[in-house]
């Protein structure tokens, strides 16, 4: 109990202490509130003092600024008054100067007008437009009229009056459709004349006429060139002079009537019309001289043989016989150059060149050293003073195959010449060209010896390769208009991209960007029988097939598709191997990709001064065919089936595929750095350096696509 009492006492004492502490805390809080109140009052007083001080300072500043502004305004007004005084003085001076200048101008105008009237009295136009029936009369008159009007110093009103007075014939009839109040309006009259007689709207007509222009019988090359130049100025008036000259050179080559002259001029690759004309005329003249100096190839007998003609011919016959006898009396194997034998220069090097191949010739050994005689297959009559072909056969068959005939033959009849040639003795009939120089017909009996020939054995075809070290100098030699620095830059560029050019016929690129697709839908396979080939063509077809197999162009096929082949002769005499895909093309789903318009392509050349052309080597063969579509390209020669591994010529969708490929490869460069039409590329440039850069860009694109160019 005592302990509880102590505890209660302790608790009571603690309670009192707590109450006392709480009272002290309340007092402290009250004092704190009082201090805060005093602090707020002090802050208010300080704020009021600062605000009143600031307001007093602002008032002082305002007063000072106002006084300064007032002073500035007074100064400005003073300056304005001074400027007004100066301006008035300047205006008075200007008025005085203007009065003096106007007086001088009027005085000079009076004098000039008097001089103009005097000149007008002395110089008057006598230009007249005749009865217009040619489309270029208006252009000629316009040029003359502009010169006269400029010399006379006419204004537009006087020009209109003089132009109206100069019209004659059908040109004057157009005035009936012009209102009378517009007869003094030069623009109206010129527009009416242009609409009636102008040729700006006939551009396409002139381009068509230019493309179809051909040299007429008896028309000289100068007249042809003048007409081509006229049509060029009308068809491509908007193009630069350089472009027109370049195009004119191409058109005149196409227009030349004589095939030899045309071919020779085309090989010249003239840059302008003047060069093409000069070269074609030189070639034509040389050809004419050559005809008169070479051995007689044909003689035409005109009606009525006069004594004078007979004497001339007898004289010519004696000269030819003398030459013939002197040649036979010489050494047996002495070569005589015949300009008509195109392979003579290669025979001198113990080789011949045919179809792009060089074929070495090796001398016959002792076993083949004997001459072989060619006998007449049938009896033949050679008309007097004419040439003809006689069918011949070898005297002994199987000794050798290829031979060179002797010219002239030692066994020929007197007065009969036999042409030298390279012959295949295994043919059923050997064509022998003979010329009768006599006034009487010559008879060749069956079995008679008409010529002799020497054997040529061991003929091995050697594919033609182009050495880079030999090709570059040849290219640079043919470039005209380049200085040494430009030639060096071009040579470095070509050496950098030398792997871009094909070195032989088997070196064909293989593009890595696309594959050709042949879509025939669900159509059943088409299998056609092979067509019969002439015996002479079978070996040629087998040789071409073997070459394509060796070059990786075709492979064996075992599919159900088959198309026949067709062989064509090229211009150079070689054979083109084609497959007749007409049946396949009929069922193929057509792919359309627009080819660029030729006229748009030509328009894009405007402004460029440097041009380079290139084409891809066997372009279609550089594009692979999708593996599942190869069997549809299969063809047969009668010796099994083979199919193309690459895009073949003759497929209807091939141009679209190739044009799409070239547009993709050269995207961003076409119409700026180059123009492309299928496998032909024209690289352009305004300057040589720009042109060189464009060539580099195009070459890089082609190299990245693994394409090859023709050398």
Give the tens place of pLDDT for each residue, 561-577: 999 998 888 777 778 88
Q: Encode pLDDT of 612-640 as tens digits.
A: 888 888 888 899 999 999 999 999 988 88
Residue 505 DSSP SS3 = coil
Q: CB burial class (10 A; 0-12, 13-18, 19+) of residue 660?
A: middle
Given a contact cutoff of 8 angstroms between Cβ atoms, the answer to whether 508 and 618 are in contact is yes
Residue 67 DSSP SS3 = helix
In this predicted structure, the answer to whether residue 417 has a pLDDT above a threshold of 60 is yes
Q: What is the DSSP string of 624-643?
A: EEPGGGGGGG-EE-SS-EEE
Question: What pLDDT shows up at residue 273?
Answer: 86
Q: Encode pLDDT of 269-295 as tens digits.
A: 888 888 888 888 888 887 776 555 444
In this predicted structure, the answer to whether residue 178 has a pLDDT above a threshold of 60 is yes
What angle do helix axes 688-704 and 484-496 make, rounded to 10 degrees?
10
Residue for token pair 């309006």? 185
Overall average pLDDT of the 56-82 stretch: 87
- Spatial separation of the C-alpha atoms in residues 686 and 126, rounded to whole Å: 44
In this predicted structure, the answer to whether residue 353 has a pLDDT above a threshold of 80 is no
Question: What pLDDT shows up at residue 22?
Answer: 86
Confidence of residue 347 (pLDDT cuts 50, 70, 90): very low
pTM (two decimals): 0.38
In this predicted structure, the answer to whether residue 392 has a pLDDT above a threshold of 50 is yes
Question: What pLDDT shows up at residue 561?
Answer: 92
Higher pLDDT, 500 or 356: 500
Question: What pLDDT shows up at residue 339?
Answer: 42
Average pLDDT, the chain: 77
Residue 167 DSSP SS3 = strand
Question: What pLDDT shows up at residue 479?
Answer: 65
437's enclosing H/E stretch is none
Question: What pLDDT shows up at residue 624?
Answer: 92
Question: What pLDDT shows up at residue 467?
Answer: 47
Overall average pLDDT of the 456-478 stretch: 52
- Spatial separation of the C-alpha atoms in residues 365 and 352, rounded to whole Å: 19
In this predicted structure, the answer to whether residue 298 has a pLDDT above a threshold of 60 is no
Q: What residues contact 355, with CB distance under 8 A and at least 6 apart? A: 572, 573, 574, 575
Other C-beta atoms closer than 10 Å to the C-beta of 156 total: 12
Overall average pLDDT of the 60-75 stretch: 87
In this predicted structure, the answer to whether residue 304 has a pLDDT above a threshold of 70 is no
Q: What percent of the chain has pLDDT over 90?
A: 9
Tokens in use for 19?
A: 């109450």
Q: Encode pLDDT of 394-407 as tens digits.
A: 877 766 778 877 65
Q: What residues contact 388, with CB distance under 8 A and at least 6 apart? A: 380, 382, 433, 434
In this predicted structure, the answer to whether residue 133 has a pLDDT above a threshold of 80 is no
């Amino acid at each position: 109990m005592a302990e509880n009492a102590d505890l209660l006492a302790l608790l009571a004492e603690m309670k009192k202490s707590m109450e006392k502490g709480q009272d002290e805390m309340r007092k402290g809080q009250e004092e704190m509130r009082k201090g805060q109140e005093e602090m707020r009052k002090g802050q208010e007083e300080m704020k009021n003092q600062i605000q009143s001080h600031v307001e007093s300072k602002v008032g002082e500043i305002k007063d000072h600024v106002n006084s300064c502004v007032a002073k500035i305004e007074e100064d400005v007004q003073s300056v304005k008054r001074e400027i007004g005084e100066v301006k008035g003085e300047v205006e008075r001076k200007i008025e005085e100067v203007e009065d003096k200048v106007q007086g001088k101008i009027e005085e000079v105008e009076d004098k000039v007008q008097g001089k103009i009237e005097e000149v007008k009295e002395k110089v008057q136009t006598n230009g007249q437009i005749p009865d217009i029936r040619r489309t270029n009369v208006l252009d000629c008159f316009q040029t003359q009229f502009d010169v006269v009007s400029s010399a006379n110093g006419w204004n537009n009103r006087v020009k209109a009056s003089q132009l109206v007075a100069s019209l004659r014939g059908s040109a004057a009839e157009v005035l009936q459709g012009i209102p009378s109040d517009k007869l003094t309006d030069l623009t109206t009259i010129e527009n009416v004349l242009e609409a009636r007689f102008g040729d700006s709207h006939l551009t396409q007509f002139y381009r068509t006429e230019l493309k179809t222009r051909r040299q007429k019988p008896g028309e000289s090359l100068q007249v042809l060139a003048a007409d081509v130049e006229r049509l060029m100025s009308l068809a491509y008036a908007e193009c630069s002079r350089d472009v027109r000259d370049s195009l004119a050179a191409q058109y005149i080559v196409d227009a030349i009537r004589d095939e030899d002259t045309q071919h020779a001029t085309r090989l010249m690759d003239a840059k302008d019309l003047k060069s093409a004309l000069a070269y074609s005329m030189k070639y034509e003249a040389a050809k004419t001289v050559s005809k008169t100096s070479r051995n007689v190839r044909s003689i035409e007998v005109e009606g009525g043989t006069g004594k004078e003609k007979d004497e001339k011919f007898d004289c010519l016959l004696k000269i030819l016989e003398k030459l013939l006898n002197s040649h036979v009396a010489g050494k047996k194997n002495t070569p005589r150059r015949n300009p008509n034998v195109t392979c003579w220069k290669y025979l001198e090097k113990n080789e011949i060149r045919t179809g792009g191949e060089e074929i070495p010739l090796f001398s016959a050994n002792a076993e083949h050293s004997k001459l072989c005689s060619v006998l007449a297959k049938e009896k033949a009559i050679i008309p007097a003073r004419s040439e003809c072909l006689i069918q011949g056969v070898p005297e002994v068959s199987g000794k050798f195959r290829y031979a060179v005939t002797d010219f002239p033959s030692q066994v020929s009849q007197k007065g009969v010449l036999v042409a030298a040639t390279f012959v295949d003795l295994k043919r059923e009939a050997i064509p022998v060209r003979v010329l009768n120089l006599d006034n009487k017909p010559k008879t060749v009996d069956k079995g008679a010896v008409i010529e002799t020939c020497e054997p040529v054995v061991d003929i091995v075809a050697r594919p033609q390769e182009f050495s880079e070290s030999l090709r570059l100098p040849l290219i640079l030699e043919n470039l005209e208009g380049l200085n040494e620095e430009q030639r060096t830059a071009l040579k470095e560029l070509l050496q950098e991209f030398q792997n871009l050019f094909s070195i032989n016929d088997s070196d064909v690129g293989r593009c890595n960007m696309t594959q050709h697709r042949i879509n025939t839908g669900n159509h059943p396979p088409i299998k056609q029988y092979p067509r019969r080939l002439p015996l002479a063509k079978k070996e040629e077809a087998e040789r071409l097939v073997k070459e394509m197999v060796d070059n990786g162009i075709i492979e064996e096929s075992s599919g159900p598709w088959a198309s026949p082949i067709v062989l064509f002769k090229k211009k150079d005499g070689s054979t083109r191997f084609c497959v007749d895909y007409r049946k396949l093309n009929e069922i193929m789903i057509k792919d359309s990709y627009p080819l660029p318009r030729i006229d748009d392509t030509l328009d894009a050349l405007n402004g460029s001064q440097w041009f380079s052309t290139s084409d891809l080597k066997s372009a279609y063969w550089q594009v692979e065919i999708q593996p599942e579509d190869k069997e549809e390209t299969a063809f047969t020669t009668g010796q099994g089936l083979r199919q193309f591994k690459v895009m073949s010529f003759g497929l209807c969708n091939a141009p679209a595929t190739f044009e799409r490929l070239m547009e993709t490869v050269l995207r961003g460069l076409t119409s700026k750095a180059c123009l492309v039409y299928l496998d032909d590329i024209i690289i352009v440039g305004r300057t040589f350096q720009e042109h060189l850069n464009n060539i580099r860009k195009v070459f890089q694109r082609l190299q990245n696509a693994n394409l090859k160019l023709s050398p």
